[in-house]
Amino acid sequence: MEGNIGFLGAGAMGEALIRGLVQGRVVPPERILAYDIRRERLQELQQTYGLQAVTGREELVRKADIIILAVKPQNVKEALAGLEVGKGKLVISIIAGITLAGLATYLGEVPVVRVVPNTPALVGEGMTALAANKFVRPEALEEAMAIFRSVGRVMVLPEEQLNAVTGLSGSGPAYIYMLIEALADGGVRQGLTRPVALELAAQTVLGAARMVLATGEHPGVLKDKVTSPAGTTIAGLAVLEDRGMRGAIIRAVEAATLRAESLSKE
12 annotated ligand-binding residue: yes
Is residue 203 within a helix (H) or strand (E), and if so which, with residue range?
A: helix 194-215
Q: Is 9 annotated as a binding residue?
A: yes
Q: Is 86 exposed, middle or buried (0-12, 13-18, 19+ CB in 10 A)?
A: exposed
70 is in an annotated binding site: yes
117 is annotated as contributing to ligand binding: no
The separation between the first and the last C-alpha atoms of the chain, rounded to the nearest angstrom, is 36
77 in a known ligand binding site? no
Question: CA-CA distances (angstroms) from residue 98 to 2, 33, 214?
Answer: 28, 23, 34
Please check if 121 is assigned to a binding site. Answer: no
248-254 contacts, C-beta under 8 A, 24 or more apart: 249/175, 252/167, 252/171, 252/175, 253/164, 253/167, 253/168, 253/171, 253/172, 254/167
- Bridge-based pairing state of the strands 126-132 and 152-156: parallel
Do 54 and 34 touch, CB atoms closer than 8 A? yes
Report the candidate in 8, 139, 1, 112 with the shortest Cα–Cα distance to residue 61: 8
90: helix, strand or coil: strand
What b/e sequence results for 193-229 when a residue is b if at least 16 CB atoms lie within 10 Å of its CB, and e otherwise? Answer: eeeebbeebbeeeeeeeeeeeeeeeeeeeeeeeeeee
Query: Does 72 count as an annotated binding residue?
Result: yes
Binding-site residue positions for NADP(+) = 8-13, 70-73
Binding-site residue positions = 8-13, 70-73
